[in-house]
Amino acid sequence: MADWTSYLNFGISIAKQASEIVLTAFHQQKEVTLKSSPADLVTETDQRVEKILISAIRNQYPQHRFIGEESVAAGERVELTDSPTWIIDPIDGTVNFVHRFPFVAISIAFSVNKQTEFGIVYSLVEDKMFHAQRGRGAFLNGQPLHASGQEDINRCVVVTEIGAERDDLALSTMTTNIFRLLKLPVHGVRALGTAAVDMCQVATGGADAYYHIGMHCWDIAASAIIVQEAGGVVMDTDGSKFDMMSRRVIAASSTAVAHHISQVIQAFPCRRDDEDPSKCVCGATGVNGLS
Ligand code: IPD
């Protein structure tokens, strides 16, 4: 197995450097622009930090490829090939960042042959550096992480997100899902406003499960390997194999809990991240649509 440790350490160091820009801006007034919906926000800092990260990596590894949230928003295609690829969210939790709600992360995943080799999630206001390398465990500020191992859904704290979608089908699906879980009952449902940090809670054992529909590959690519390396499982919301492009994920402390959640929740249709927008019939590609 190739050793990607020096690449991981480089990723951690540039995430730390870039976090200083985000932290300074966190306390200041921001210019906000809307993207796909009135709740899908972007700031100059998101764009600036993504450019800084990409140019630092490109300097070091000129052959590598990128999938970055703001580059995609600017029109780039999402294409995950076998080449080494860095999957970057410069600010996960942009709404939090704009409002100074203190959960904001830089998320960086590194994929080779379409397999994630390592993930870095830096929750910068909390100064929590999560990372995991395939086959080598997951860590928070250098300390090993372990998912809770909980198998009983009735004893679970479940994290989810409402996301940026505001259409009726998405909203009714998401609120119905929360209703169904609370009725089981689970111990609680939580949301921090950043998919990356939410998912890392499963790796710490502080939450037992996380599910989300509508997020993007850059939100969860890094945290997925962190959960797996902490002993948790990740899968699609329909119970099938995890596919980071599908915009659906369950992360859980155990397979039993993940399957239980997949049987309770439903998904609304989302265009895949890697679908060619010129060929898509938007809204027609989902599974588990509400009946
Ligand atoms: C968002 C956050 C949020 C999730 C959205 C994401 P962004 O990422 O992760 O928690 O609900 O679906 O798009 O836009 O802040 O990078």
pLDDT in tens, 123-149: 999 999 999 999 999 999 999 999 999
Query: E strands, 93-247, where?
Result: 105-112, 115-123, 128-133, 138-140, 143-144, 157-160, 188-190, 209-213, 233-235
Neighbour-count burial of 6, counting CB atoms closer than 10 A to its CB (0-12 exposed, 13-18 middle, 19+ buried): exposed
Q: Looking at the predicted structure, is the pLDDT value of residue 286 above 90? A: no
H/E stretch holding 32: strand 32-34
* pLDDT more than 70, % of the chain: 95
Task: Give me the chain's average pLDDT, please.
Answer: 94
From the candidates 14, 43, 46, 69, give the one annotated as an active-site residue. Answer: 69
Q: Determine the residue type at 21.
A: I
Rounded Cα gap, residues 193 and 211, in angstroms: 13
Q: How many A from CA of 221 to the centre of ligand 1?
A: 13
Residue 247: which of 213, 219, 220 has the closest Cα?
A: 213
Could you tell me if the CB of 93 is within 6 A of ligand 1? yes
Instruction: Give me 1's structure tokens.
Output: 């197995």
Active-site residue, 91 included:
yes
The pLDDT of 95-122, averaged and rounded, is 98
Block residue for tokens 């600036």: 48
pLDDT digits (tens, 9 = 90+) for 254-266: 999 999 999 999 9
Block residue for tokens 């609680």: 188
Long-range contacts of 137-141 (CB under 8 A, 24+ apart): 137/229, 137/230, 138/203, 138/225, 138/226, 138/227, 138/228, 138/229, 138/230, 140/200, 140/203, 140/204
Torsions phi, psi for 106 (to 5 deg): -100, 125
Confidence of residue 279 (pLDDT cuts 50, 70, 90): low
Q: What is the pLDDT of residue 168?
A: 96
Pick the CATH number of 153-264 from 1.20.1740.10, 3.40.50.2020, 3.40.50.300, 3.40.190.80: 3.40.190.80
Q: Looking at the predicted structure, is the pLDDT value of residue 289 above 60? A: no
Q: How many A from CA of 163 to the centre of ligand 1?
A: 6
The pLDDT of 36-57, averaged and rounded, is 95
Residue nearest to atom 10 of ligand 1 (CA): 194
Q: Looking at the predicted structure, is the pLDDT value of residue 246 above 70? A: yes
> What fold, for 5-144?
Fructose-1,6-Bisphosphatase; Chain A, domain 1 (3.30.540)
Q: What is the pLDDT of residue 1?
A: 75
Kindly report, as residue ranges, where domains of CATH 3.30.540.10 are found in the chain.
Answer: 5-144
Kindly report, as residue ranges, where domains of CATH 3.40.190.80 are found in the chain.
Answer: 153-264
pLDDT digits (tens, 9 = 90+) for 205-219: 999 999 999 999 999
Q: Looking at the predicted structure, is the pLDDT value of residue 280 above 80? A: no
Long-range contacts of 187-191 (CB under 8 A, 24+ apart): 187/154, 187/155, 187/156, 187/157, 188/157, 188/158, 189/157, 189/158, 189/159, 189/160, 190/157, 190/158, 190/159, 190/160, 191/159, 191/160, 191/161, 191/162
Could you tell me if the CB of 273 is within 6 A of ligand 1? no
Residue 192: which of 119, 121, 138 has the closest Cα?
A: 121
Q: How many A from CA of 6 to the centre of ligand 1?
A: 29
Residue nearest to atom 4 of ligand 1 (CA): 163
Of 97, 106, 194, which is best to mutate to test ligand 1, by the most ligand atoms within 8 angstroms of its C-beta?
194
Query: E strands, 124-171, where?
Result: 128-133, 138-140, 143-144, 157-160
For residue 40, the ligand 1 atom closest to its alpha carbon is 14
For residue 196, the ligand 1 atom closest to its alpha carbon is 9
From the candidates 57, 87, 91, 220, give the one annotated as an active-site residue. Answer: 91
Q: Looking at the predicted structure, is the pLDDT value of residue 189 above 80? A: yes
The pLDDT of 9-36, averaged and rounded, is 96
Active-site residue, 92 included:
yes
| pTM recorded for the entire structure | 0.95
Q: How many A from CA of 194 to the centre of ligand 1?
A: 6
Could you tell me if the CB of 233 is within 6 A of ligand 1? no
Strand pairing category for 209-213 and 157-160? parallel
